[in-house]
Structure 1
Amino acid sequence: MTNLISVIICTYNPNLHLFNRALSSLKLQSLSVDYWELVIVDNNSKIPVTPDILWHPNARVVKEPKQGLTSARIRGFVEAKGQIIIMADDDNVLEPDYLQNCLAIFDKYPKIGAIGGNISPDFEIAPPEWMKMFWPCLALRALGKHTRITNFAGHQINYYPDFAPVGAGMAVRSLALKKYMASISNDENVIQDRSGTKLTSSGDNEIVMQIMLNNFEIGFFPELHLIHLIPSNRLTKNYLGKLNHGIMNSWTTFLIKYQISPWKRFPKYLLWPRLIKAYLKYKPWKTDQNFVIFKGIKGQLQALAKS
């Protein structure tokens, strides 16, 4: 057994139908199971996760009792033995050549630390047209057919690349994770991804940022493609509003932490006046789209308010 790749799936109370589809896509990978391992992190699910993984000779389920995707990912990183780590969600269907392509990319680009690709949706029900502007909130990405690589080595990082990989399907070089793993041990303000029903985000952005700070390149590669399975309960005004609020709040917090925020902070006593102004400007009572936009603005303003 040569552990070139570790595939990590973090899960919490998974939708078993979607989870099984995700596992089936791994079963169909062109890369032989002799060259990769599968680590499933059960993040304190109400019913213990017991997937059918007998088809893989080096697959296991580990438990992480501390709630939250960030804690689950860290547990997966500690468990992983591979030179490359691929993060897949429990509703991600990876194309059959995904692992093989990741291996080839890291072999071709020795300075690359983290990579990602395009993410297409598979909706349980047809979504309304107005939701399209919020597809990035659901980790959907259509970035084209051209490879994009950035390199901040030796230069100050003054912006976050728009093609940086997201958590779904992100592949990282284990060596490049060292700075992130070292930083979280002494950082009380680690950016937290979703936890239970709390829909925060940007924990994956912090992983990428720490990899760049460690002088590794990051890249977008169109040959990497996965499908995000999206159930109907994620295609509602209320869910997208809560999601947009959590994402904009944590995204702004992330930008502030790394001193690359384009927005100025303000005293906390100005929060309510600015929320009222935003409420009147975006009129969340008029349309579902306006409602979701306002929720995002609210999350952003709450992050910008100085305590």
Structure 2
Amino acid sequence: MKATVAICTHNRAADVEEALLSLMRQDFAEPFEVIVVDNRSTDHTKQVVQDAGRLTTIPIVYVYEERLGLSVARNRAIREARGDYILFLDDDAVACEGWISGIVSLFESDPRIGCIGGKIEPAWEGEEPNWLLPENRTLYTILDYADEIVEMQKPAMPFGANVSFRMSVFDAMKPFREDLGRVGSNLLSSEETELIDRIRASYTVYYTPYAWVRHKIPRSRISRKWLLRRIYWQGVSKAVSSERKAGLFLKSLLKVPVFALLSVVFFFDRRRIFRNVSKIIYNNGLINGVLRTYN
């Protein structure tokens, strides 16, 4: 079997239904399977998956994973997968019709490709906020890296809403670190970055704009408060995954008062204030991320 599509989910039954329907519309001519890893949901996710399975000849496998955590769920999907390639689709995303075929054909064009990321378009519930700074758009899982198929050069990274791996890479290396990635309501991340950094030691990483997905952004996330929380957890994630924690800790301690002073200097420039507050929050996350690793 060429491809396994993996959807890891927690209490998003309605979104999972839409994601599965998009997989039923794929133009991929070869057999593929779908694995839905239910990460301790308390809604009717299981029923949605079973109902979807009755509508198609595509094998849709329901797997219940009791231990909470996105990385835990992803690793369970990797263990269950039977395809040559595993394609991860977020539970709140829908794939274009050529998604699977675009990913698989790119993998098959070069055995040195170990990981592929695809374009991720935002589906805002409402409108994109006019206060969103360009450098913060990626924090909403928006990815538009290039207009053609290209190798992603470090530090550029695919995002988990649309990322795929050659399964054989896991013969020689461990999958996702389970001390990284979201658990429950926290926004810990960097599990993809850490894994892909290791993959880059032996393989190339590519991007394709043609195998795109549309990722939902609910109204509850379209606020400065949510974005600052996301920025804080980005700092925590960076610190937890870093091997140079002491250096990060000292630099962050020095940066916080500098950005606080700049916020006063640019008091009448709201965009600059938010940018500096964001940097303060991020560095606080770095500091707390270092401290939590020693607790």
**Shorter-chain TM-score range:** 0.7 to 0.9
Q: Which residue of 2 aligns with 1:289?
A: 274
Counterpart CA distance in 1 for 2:32 and 2:226 is: 36
Contact in 2 for aligned 1:253/1:303 (Cα 8 Å): yes
CA distances 1:103-159 after superposition (whole Å, capped 9, x unpaired): 111111111000012111110111321214321011101112133226xxxxxxxxx
Partners of 2:13 and 2:96 in 1: how far apart?
20
Change (3 A) 1:236 1:15: farther
Mark the CA change 1:240 to 1:265 in structure 2 (over 3 Å): closer, same or farther: closer
Residue 162 of structure 1 pairs with residue 155 of structure 2:
yes
Change (3 A) 1:282 1:8: farther
Q: 1:24 to 1:217 in 2, by over 3 A?
A: same
Matched-pair contact (CA < 8 Å) for 2:13–2:43: no
Q: CA deviation at 1:25?
A: 1.2
CA distance in 1, matches of 2:66, 2:261: 43
- What residue is the counterpart of 1:13 in the other structure? 11
2:68 corresponds in structure 1 to 67
C-alpha displacement of 1:22: 1.7
- In the superposition, the TM-score normalised over structure 2's length comes to 0.85
After superposition, give the CA deviation of every residue in 1:224-244 in whole Å (9 maximum; x if it has no partner): 211111110111122111111
* Residues 1:56 and 2:39 aligned together: no
Conservation of the 8 A alpha-carbon contact between 1:191 and 1:202: no
Paired position in structure 1 for 2:24: 27
User: Which residue in the other structure is 1:79 paired with?
Assistant: 80
Q: Which runs of 5+ in 1 are unaligned?
A: 151-159
Query: Which residue in the other structure is 2:116 paired with?
Result: 115
Identity of aligned residues (%): 23
Q: CA deviation at 1:23?
A: 1.8
In structure 1, how many angstroms separate the alpha carbons of the residues matched to 2:267 and 2:100? 46
How far did 1:265 drift?
Answer: 3.1
* 1:192 equivalent in structure 2: 180
CA RMSD of aligned residues (A): 2.8
CA drift of 1:170 comes to 0.5
Contact 1:237 1:292 in 2 (8 A): no
Residue 174 (structure 1) aligned to one of 155, 167, 173: 167
Q: Could you tell me whether the CA contact under 8 Å between 2:248 and 2:286 is conserved in 1?
A: no
Aligned to 1:126: 127
Q: Is the CA contact 1:163–1:220 (under 8 Å) kept in the aligned structure 2?
A: no
> Who is 1:228 aligned against?
215
The residue aligned with 1:94 is 95
Q: 1 CA distance for matches of 2:231 and 2:240?
A: 14
> Aligned partner of 2:150: which letter?
R
| Structure 1 residues 84 and 47: alpha-carbon distance in aligned structure 2, compared to 1, 3 A threshold | same
Range with bigger deviation, 127-136 or 115-124: 127-136
Distance 2:44 2:79 in 1: 21
Residue of structure 2 in register with 1:299 after alignment: 285
Residue of structure 2 equivalent to 1:39: 35
Distance 1:121 1:264, change over 3 A: same
2:100 aligned counterpart, secondary structure: helix
Paired position in structure 1 for 2:240: 253
1:230-265 Cα offsets, whole Å, 9 max, x none, are 1101111221111111123213433x23x6x9x933
Q: 3-state SS of the aligned residue for 2:148?
A: coil
Instruction: Quote the residue 2:138 is aligned against.
Output: 136
Inter-CA distance 197–249: structure 2 relative to 1 (3 Å threshold): same
- Alignment of 1:210 with 2:198, yes or no, is yes
